[in-house]
Amino acid sequence: MKVAFAGTPEFAATALRAILAAGHEVPLVLTQPDRPAGRGMKLQPSPVKQLALEHGIPVAQPQRLRSEVERAALVSAMPDVLVVAAYGIILPQPVLDLPQYGCLNIHASLLPRWRGAAPIHRAIEADDRETGITIMQMDAGLDTGAMLLRKPIAIHPDDTTGSLHDRLAVLGGELIVEALARLPGGLDATPQPPQGVTYAHKIGKAEARLDWRRSATELACAVRAFNPFPGAQALFDQNAVKIWHAFATTGQGEPGEILACDETGVTIACGDGALKCTELQRPGGRRLDARQFVQSGGLIPGMRAESTP
C-alpha cells in the first residue's frame, strides 16, 4: 500500500520504522517545521524528519493544512491511507477525505479514556493500572473516531512516562502494521462508547512544582508522570530541586517539611503521608542518588518546601 505518514516525535518515528520494515511504500512524510533546540538554539529536524531523510522519503512541513497550497504535497502523493501519530497539527476535513482508506491514528491510550495531547503522562498521574494503544479511524473530533484495533498493556508500579512511552511506541508500531495488513479486506469499526471519556490535557511546565498539601500517593504518581518532562520540582528558598524518583511512605508533619535526610532518601511530609525522594537534582547539577545528594549538603530536617498557591 501507499502509506503517507504524519508525525513528529520519537513515538511517531518508531511507528514509521515499523511501517517501512513491513515493506509499505511511503511516498510522503508530513512533520512539523524544524524547531530551535539545544544550547545554541539551532533549528533541529524532528525525529520523524530525520528518519524520512535517511530513507530518502520526501518530507513536507506545513505550518497547518488548511489551504490547498499546504495540502498540495499530500494530494500529489496520492496515498491509499494516511497514518497519523503524534503529529501535533489538526487535520481538516479535506485531508480526512483524501485517502481511499481515510486516516488512521495511533493513539497511546485505551480510548475513550485519555483523549488528547498527553495520554501517557495522565495515565501514570492518575495511577491507572493499564493503558494501551488504540488504532482509530480519524474524524473531525478530538480523538473521537471509531476504534479499529485496541490492545492493553500493564502500567508497572515503577513506570515513568519515559519507560511507558517506549513500550507503547513499540506496541503502536506493531498494531499499525497489523491494521495496514488487514485494511484492504476491511477492519471492524467500533464506535467509542460515551461512558468513560476523559481528556489528557497538555502537560505544562507550571505543573512541575509539587503541591505538598496533596497526598504522598498522588505526588509519587506525579513524580513518575513528570519523568522525563517537565521533571517534578520541590522549591526550597526559591531553588527548584528536581525529583526524579520517589515513593510514598509513612510520616507526619507540616506539608513540605523535611522529616528525614539520610543516605536512603529525603523524606518530605505531604497532606497525607510522606514522600521519600531517592533521586534528586540541583539547578545546574546532575542527577544524584540519595546518598550522593545528601552528602553534598544543602537540605536538613525541618526545612520546608513551598507549596503552590
Q: Where are the chain's structural domains?
A: 3-200, 206-295
Fold of the domain built from segment(s) 206-295: Methionyl-tRNA Fmet Formyltransferase; Chain A, domain 2 (3.10.25)
- Is 286 exposed, middle or buried, given 0-12, 13-18 or 19+ CB atoms closer than 10 A? exposed
pLDDT in tens, the chain (309 residues): 899 999 999 999 999 999 999 999 999 999 999 998 777 788 999 999 999 999 999 999 999 999 999 999 999 999 999 999 999 999 999 999 999 999 999 999 999 999 999 999 999 999 999 999 999 999 999 999 999 999 999 999 999 999 999 999 999 999 999 999 999 888 999 999 999 999 999 998 889 999 999 999 999 999 999 999 999 999 988 889 999 999 999 999 999 999 999 999 999 999 999 999 999 999 889 999 999 999 988 899 999 998 765
Distance CA 262, CA 295 (A): 8
Beta-carbon contacts of 239 under 8 Å, excluding residues fewer than 6 positions away, are 282, 283
Just give the CATH number of 3-200.
Answer: 3.40.50.170
Beta-carbon contacts of 148 under 8 Å, excluding residues fewer than 6 positions away, are 104, 135, 136, 137, 179, 187, 188, 189, 190
State CA 28 to chain mean position distance. Answer: 24
Q: For the whole model, what pTM was predicted? A: 0.95
